[in-house]
A and B are shown apart, each in its own frame.
Chain A
Amino acid sequence: GIQVEQSPPDLILQEGANSTLRCNFSDSVNNLQWFHQNPWGQLINLFYIPSGTKQNGRLSATTVATERYSLLYISSSQTTDSGVYFCAVRRGTYKYIFGTGTRLKVLA
């Protein structure tokens, strides 16, 4: 099956800093999503981005499907950005494969 690797596994930032999270996947996919799991456990959709670039406020994402990776950019980080960021991919099946996540802590 498809392997999904996320890096870095842990990240600590000072409020206001920028960061880049990476998601590598081992095979071609036709669906990719980024999620933020907040400290209360809720999974929040960030981007549905099988290819290309999207932006939403301070967050943006780029997926280069031909090279099998996706990047999530967080600019001017805030304490509310803390939590775990997951990338999930799907290829021709009915299930998403989730990466192990990047645990982000933003310090005030």
Chain B
Amino acid sequence: DSGVTQTPKHLITATGQRVTLRCSPRSGDLSVYWYQQSLDQGLQFLIQYYNGEERAKGNILERFSAQQFPDLHSELNLSSLELGDSALYFCASSVGTGGVSYEQYFGPGTRLTVT
């Protein structure tokens, strides 16, 4: 158990809908990262937050947004869902920001299926 929690574990929804994925980092970690793993794209970095502020953006679609709350948990919002958004979404956390290298720990993931 990495100490990073994600809910829900599984999510099935229809095209055009909106969902929210939740992540709680390890105790003491200030950075949260979101990744998408799909069959054709592999593991792709989406976005990073550090202590409530956005720090880096990767291949995140405009239909997707995220935030980190004062208690450090994070939510990833996916809207106007398309079939191609079906994937495993991971959250990871680390102690500090990316300016100094820190080991990332991954949560168990949320498997999103869009029908």
Contacts and interface: CB of A to CB of B under 8 A. Distances in A.
Interface of A: 30-31, 33, 35, 41-45, 48, 50, 86, 88, 90, 93-98, 100-101
A90 B42 contact: no
Interface in B91-115: 97-99, 101-106, 108-109, 111
B107 to A, nearest CB: 8
Interface of B: 2, 33, 42-45, 48, 55-56, 58, 88, 90, 97-99, 101-106, 108-109, 111
Given A94-B48, A95-B33, A48 B109 contact: no
Contacts of B42: 98, 100-101
A95 B48 contact: yes
Given A42-B106, A97-B45, A98-B44, 13 more contacts: A35-B106, A41-B111, A45-B2, A48-B103, A50-B101, A93-B98, A94-B97, A94-B98, A95-B58, A95-B98, A96-B33, A98-B42, A100-B42
Taking chain A's interface residues, is the majority helix, strand, or loop, or is none over half, making it mixed? strand
A86 B43 contact: yes
B89 to A, nearest CB: 11
